């Protein structure tokens, strides 16, 4: 863990729970794409920087999930680097309490206020083309989270953040987190035809051909939606839908899975409602979902 791998002339990734990108800039300057899941990840990255004589100029966050911004605070304090994040992701990174609050739907209980969902605050500027170095460009990848982006280096390394899960992850967890299902499917269609020399998903193996994995993720979205539609043949509350999905996929319920999968299932219901396939009704002070 935390080994440095070179993938093109100027691009690297650091193996970690969520892969960290590293791109060489001018001289000994480098930038990072995300910073790992916590202070310890930041410390490991700092050791790699020091061992190679590199100076950290900036961190470019893909999105604000805690496992991608957890090393921000440590690295910024240690190096004085700038940090940039896109759109709403910048607000969540500056105010990380927003992530567990959004997932829970209110002030989160203490069992959700830990480093898995709650990173340390860092000083972050809004990402824009003007903030980018000359050999790195922004790739909009919405869907998994609000304004998530990826980055592409001038020599063809494509850092895809969380828009793809590995086949192993799909088989193990079945329902991976998605905020906007329609945007997510559009992003996957874009990724299928994306050009690059090497693709680096944060939670899957690097590959020169990303199309098949993108299709695997699309297929899983449609599988989940079909299961929800079947459950909704009879007017059903959200909690019962969630229970059926956990049982159907053999998942184990805990507080983290409840909020992550629960938020995702709500997003699926919103998408199915927007596309005219389910509707809701109120009966006996309950909101019930049913096939339209």
Segment 246-279, tens digit of pLDDT: 999 999 999 999 999 999 999 999 999 999 999 9
Give the percent of the chain with pLDDT over 70. Answer: 100
pLDDT value at position 98? 98
pLDDT value at position 245? 98
User: Residue 285: how many CB atoms within 10 A of its CB?
Assistant: 5
Pairing type for strands 286-291 and 278-283 reads antiparallel
Segment 174-219, tens digit of pLDDT: 999 999 999 999 999 999 999 999 999 999 999 999 999 999 999 9
Topology of domain 224-291, CATH:
Arc Repressor Mutant, subunit A (1.10.10)
The tokens describing 275, both together, are 């596309």
- Mean pLDDT along residues 71-88: 98
pLDDT value at position 74? 98
Q: What is the DSSP letter of 62?
A: S
Burial class (CB in 10 A: 0-12, 13-18, 19+), 77: middle
Where in the chain are the domains?
A: 4-221, 224-291
pLDDT value at position 257? 97
Segment 245-254, tens digit of pLDDT: 999 999 999 9
- Mean pLDDT along residues 165-182: 97
pLDDT value at position 61? 98
Beta bridge partners of 70: none
pLDDT value at position 158? 98
φ/ψ of 244, rounded to 5, equals: -65, -40
pLDDT value at position 51? 98
- Mean pLDDT along residues 51-71: 98
Residues 6 or more apart in contact with residue 287 via CB below 8 angstroms: 237, 238, 280, 281
How much is the mean pLDDT over the chain? 97
Q: How many residues does the chain have?
A: 292
Edge-to-edge order in the sheet of strand 278-283? 236-237, 286-291, 278-283
pLDDT value at position 185? 98
- Mean pLDDT along residues 135-157: 98
Q: Among candidates 10, 6, 79, 87, which has minimal Cα distance to 47?
A: 79
pTM over the 0.95 mark: yes
Segment 192-199 long-range contacts (CB within 8 Å, at least 24 positions apart): 194/139, 194/158, 196/152, 196/156, 196/157, 196/158, 197/8, 197/155, 197/156, 197/157, 197/158, 198/7, 198/8, 198/11, 198/156, 198/157, 198/158, 199/158, 199/160
Topology of domain 4-221, CATH:
Metallo-beta-lactamase; Chain A (3.60.15)
pLDDT value at position 100? 98
Q: What is the DSSP letter of 110?
A: G
């Amino acid at each position: 863990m935390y080994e440095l791998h070179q993938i093109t002339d100027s691009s690297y990734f650091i193996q970690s729970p969520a892969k960290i990108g590293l791109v060489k800039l001018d001289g000994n300057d480098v930038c990072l794409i995300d910073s790992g899941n916590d202070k310890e990840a930041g410390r490991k990255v700092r050791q790699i920087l020091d061992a190679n004589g590199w100076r950290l100029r900036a961190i470019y966050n893909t999105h604000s999930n805690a496992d991608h911004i957890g090393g921000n605070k440590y690295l910024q304090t240690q190096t004085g680097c700038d940090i940039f994040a896109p759109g709403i992701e910048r607000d969540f990174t500056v105010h990380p309490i927003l992530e567990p609050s959004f997932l829970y739907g209110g002030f989160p209980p203490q069992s959700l206020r830990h480093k898995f969902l709650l990173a340390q605050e860092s000083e972050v500027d809004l990402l824009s083309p003007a903030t980018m170095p000359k050999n790195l460009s922004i790739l909009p990848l919405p869907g998994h989270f609000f304004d998530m982006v990826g980055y592409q280096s001038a020599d063809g390394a494509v850092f895809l953040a969380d828009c793809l899960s590995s086949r192993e992850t799909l088989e193990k967890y079945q329902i991976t987190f998605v905020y906007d299902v329609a945007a997510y499917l559009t992003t996957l269609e874009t990724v299928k035809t994306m050009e690059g020399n090497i693709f680096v998903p944060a939670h899957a193996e690097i590959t020169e051909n990303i199309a098949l994995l993108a299709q695997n993720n699309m297929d899983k979205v449609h599988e989940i939606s079909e299961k929800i539609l079947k459950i909704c043949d009879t007017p059903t509350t959200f909690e019962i839908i969630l229970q059926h999905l956990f049982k159907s996929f053999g998942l184990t319920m805990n507080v983290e899975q409840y909020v992550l999968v629960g938020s995702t299932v709500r997003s699926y219901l919103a998408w199915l409602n927007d596309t005219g396939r389910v509707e809701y009704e109120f009966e006996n002070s309950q909101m019930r979902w049913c096939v339209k």
